[in-house]
Chain A
Amino acid sequence: MKEETKGKVKLWDAVPGYEFDEKIDVPEMHSYFHDGVHSVPRLTPMYGCFYGRLNPVGSQYASETLSIPTCKGWSQKVKDGSTYLAMHIIRDKEEIDKRAVKFKEALVPWIEDFDGLWEGYKNELLGLYDHLKSLDLDKATNIDLIHHLWDMVSTYRRMWEIHFLGMYTSMSAVALLEEQVARFGLTSESPEFQNMFRGFDNKAFQVDKQMSEFAKAAVKSGLSDLFKNNKAEDVLPKLEESDAGRKWKKDFYEFLQVEGWRMVRMMDFNEPYWLEEPSAAISVIQTYVSKGADFDLDEVRAKLIKEREKSINELLQKVPEGEREWFRALVNLGGKAGSYSEEHDLYCELYCHAVIRRGFLGIGRRLVQAGTLDRPDDTLFLNPDEIEQVMLAPEFHKLQYIANRRRADWERLRFKETPPVYTDRAGGMDEAVGKDLLPSGDVIIIKLVVGEMPKVKEELKADIYGVCGAPGVAEGKARVIFTYDQLDEVLPGEILVCPGTNPAWTPIFGVVKGVVADRGGTLSHTAIVGREYQVPTIVNCFVGTEKIKTGMRIRVDATQGAIYILDKS
């Protein structure tokens, strides 16, 4: 069957309706920007379908619900696993003014009780996840499974809707604060400004801290050699060999029952979650044990809180007395943005994706039993429509020829570069950003996904320019890596050069001296974690991984956004 169909049957679109077509899509929207933060490496077709289709719906839902004055979210297209987005910019002044009136009303509850609203939405999401988790996939009927597929789609959609409500409101506060502090001589890149958002406790940092405590406990129990000298997948069986090991493992498994619904890779379904494959979590512990067990998050946190309070007080001193009350409220709200930006990952992407991965593996097992697919995770190389077509009578169908071919394409293209923008604007990226991005006023896209554009400061004579994510200066050997599974190559004191980071990379910030990321804005994961770990960090330098090679000595002047290649050997 596989051989017969190959070449004879048209292989339809991997992401039907969302395939990027330059000739049609660019004239309609003028500019499509690469989402380098979320689609490097490239996405599997199933994830492309979910993300391409429902992430924009979430952005549009939140823009409409909040009545964002200048933007109705974005459209997204997928090109061979890379995603591109185009902003729905409102250009009619009267419409903008009308929306602004409603926007103001919609913001009020968020300003008054951001934490309370987020708590409610968080519980809604956890309820949806519990519902998905309650289905025993192996005992389920095929009907249960097709319903499960639809439930996954709908859970994923709701996740993005909630995700963007929180994002737009919290990040709008930061953007406003950024504008307001300008009269006191601060910018988004000023250390005094960035200090105001550091040292907030949240679930993401709590889990990081628990992980580092497990690392410390392992060292204390004399297990550090076991962690250092074995591959992650060999650590767990070896732990069975001693009382201390068994005790540690028992505690760790208990922890995973609660916190293990967490993908390692944030933006796809293709890699295991901690609970599914505890060795994925073990490798994080290994990083802490071998390189960062002495990194004291609590100590750093305490220092950051002090600095935060100092920066806030200094700013409030400059604020005229009559304005101090609302300014303080705005600073507090802005503080939520950094915190929410980290914490929501846990409850939105990382948890949701883990639960959906579970579902696709369950559906995949059923399709393998029926002979429709060869491997359970082949489901990730189909799209939801294709699964729908076969789910209730899978034994009549063979989908290997689709899954295998798409998997081969994906593997071949995974790390291939892709243009940062497709545009019909004559001035290229600059004009595209000026006309088709900035007028959207979309804080998420501007400050996180596409990021602020670096300023070339000729007088610094730097080799590469980026945007300050976390202030400071660092000098050392560069370590260029592209995915988190290469993190074990990074040595203490090196400077990490990467496309961008996500929560899977967090432990490495306790190890490196500096971080250089090709993409990301001042509220991206890389910048936020750089600030929390006090690591000089540059984001959005675009060509870091291209121009810098592992072993080169580089100096990172993050405060200035300047990178110097010291020896170009």
Chain B
Amino acid sequence: MHSKKLIFWFDELGKEHNDIVGKKCANLGEMARMGLAVPPGFAIPIDMYREFIKETGAEDEMSSYIKEFGEAKGAAIQVFEEMSENLRGMIEGKEMLPPLRECIASYYTELCNKTGTENVAVSVRSAGTESRPGMFETYLNVRGIEGVLEKVKKVWASAFTPRAIAFRVNKGLPILGDELGVAVPKMVNARASGIAFTVNPVDGDSSKITIEANWGLGEGVVCGAESVDLFEVNKNTLEIASKRAGNKRRGVFYKETGADWADIPAKIQRMPCISDKEIIEIARVAKSAEEFLESPQDMEWAIDQDVDFPQNIFWVQTRPAKVASRKVDSPTNHIADLMAKKFRGF
């Protein structure tokens, strides 16, 4: 057995655990601490990955492969694809070490017990110590311990997607530099999901909370490809300032295992996917998170169709909001900007 605790429940974590479990896990812990409803789940620390590659020999294999490969800076994408395939194979091809397997399985079983669901559906998500949006893999709707173990290895291996390798090479970082923790939260059986910005990401207006939403899972909103619902809530009064139902033709939904894009039935395409009281509750929680964290937030939420309001709103991510950088404005531009905003807002 190992002397140090390997796996953590989310509510045992906080931002001080960033380097141990990765940013996403630490963040979920921090969110749970401030009272946000976070889906239950556990965090697999980075050390477990290190142990895995060390004990299975993958580390040595990868190191010598990279050494032999030589200089990759400036190489064509095909080169990174080839490296990716080889390096990922070196991780995915190894059997999970029995002690690690036992450890992960015991937490998964306990999560099944906690949620009262056999083979509870979870997502298996990458958690690096630094945020690299969209670079590593996430697997949705994974059921049963075998699936979880396989996806954990795949997440670890996703540190070597062609994009991730190219990124590190071009930044002069070690190719093996990104080591990933893994977050394993219970899947929210999402009727609708979306994002809440406590500051308008385009123009920096901080008087309203902007909510984007689509039917199904959050992946159907985050990538920004489809027309989604857009709501604005006045931050002071928590009154809905505007509602625009998007023409939501497609969204991401569960399949037997996994999840994928699918067409949304015509009759609900133009229907708002969340109710007014859900809009207001999302805004209320987002506002309190912003106050607690003392900075504007970009937050992901999902509404569980199996749970009653207001317990049905789950939060899966919050991070400091990025506002399109604004030039230092001349007084004229600033006034024109404020006027435009004011007269848009009636």
Taking beta carbons and an 8 Å cutoff, which residues of A are in contact with B?
68-70, 93-94, 96-97, 99-101, 103-105, 107-108, 111-112, 172-173, 175-176, 179-180, 325-326, 328-330, 333, 438-441
CA distance A111 to B345 in the complex (A): 20
Q: Which 4 A-B pairs have the closest CB atoms?
A: A441-B346, A326-B331, A104-B340, A100-B344
CA distance A68 to B331 in the complex (A): 20
Beyond A93-B242, A93-B244, A94-B244, whether A179 also contacts B342 by CB under 8 A is yes
Beyond A93-B242, A441-B346, whether A103 also contacts B339 by CB under 8 A is yes
Cβ contact within 8 Å between B244 and A172: no
Cβ contact within 8 Å between A69 and B344: yes
Cβ contact within 8 Å between A439 and B332: no
CA distance A100 to B342 in the complex (A): 9
- B335 interface hit (Cβ, 8 Å): yes
Cβ contact within 8 Å between B346 and A107: no
Cβ contact within 8 Å between B244 and A108: no
Closest to B330 in A: A326
Q: Which of B230, B332, B341, B342 contacts A108 (CB 8 A)?
A: B332
Cβ contact within 8 Å between A172 and B343: yes
Taking beta carbons and an 8 Å cutoff, which residues of B are in contact with A?
230, 242, 244, 329, 331-346
Cβ contact within 8 Å between B339 and A107: yes
CA distance A69 to B242 in the complex (A): 15
* Contacts A108-B336, A179-B342 known; 17 new A-B pairs at CB < 8 A: A69-B340, A69-B343, A69-B344, A94-B244, A96-B344, A99-B344, A100-B340, A100-B341, A104-B336, A108-B332, A173-B335, A175-B342, A326-B329, A326-B331, A330-B335, A333-B335, A441-B342
CA distance A326 to B242 in the complex (A): 29
Q: How far is the CB of B129 from chain A (nearest CB, A)?
A: 35
Cβ contact within 8 Å between B346 and A176: no
Report chain B residues within 8 Å CB of A97.
344
User: Can you list 17 A-B contacts (CB < 8 A)?
Assistant: A69-B340, A94-B244, A100-B343, A103-B343, A104-B337, A107-B336, A107-B340, A111-B336, A175-B342, A176-B339, A326-B329, A326-B331, A328-B331, A329-B331, A329-B332, A329-B335, A441-B342
Cβ contact within 8 Å between B346 and A326: no
Q: How far is the CB of A164 from chain B (nearest CB, A)?
A: 15
Cβ contact within 8 Å between A172 and B333: no
Report chain B residues within 8 Å CB of A333.
335
Q: How far is the CB of B302 from chain A (nearest CB, A)?
A: 25
CA distance A70 to B346 in the complex (A): 7
Beyond A93-B242, A93-B244, whether A176 also contacts B342 by CB under 8 A is yes
CA distance A5 to B338 in the complex (A): 61
Report chain A residues within 8 Å CB of B339.
103-104, 107, 172-173, 176
Report chain A residues within 8 Å CB of B337.
104
Beyond A326-B335, A329-B332, whether A70 also contacts B242 by CB under 8 A is no
Cβ contact within 8 Å between A440 and B346: yes
Most buried by B among A96, A104, A438: A104
Report chain A residues within 8 Å CB of B340.
69, 100-101, 103-104, 107
Cβ contact within 8 Å between B343 and A111: no
Q: Which of A94, A96, A326, A440 contacts B334 (CB 8 A)?
A: A326
Most buried by A among B334, B336, B341: B336
Report chain A residues within 8 Å CB of B333.
108
Report chain B residues within 8 Å CB of A326.
329, 331, 334-335
Report chain B residues within 8 Å CB of A69.
340, 343-344
Closest to A168 in B: B343
Q: Which of B329, B343, B346 contacts A438 (CB 8 A)?
A: B346
Report chain A residues within 8 Å CB of B329.
326
CA distance A105 to B337 in the complex (A): 9
CA distance A116 to B345 in the complex (A): 29
Report chain A residues within 8 Å CB of B334.
326
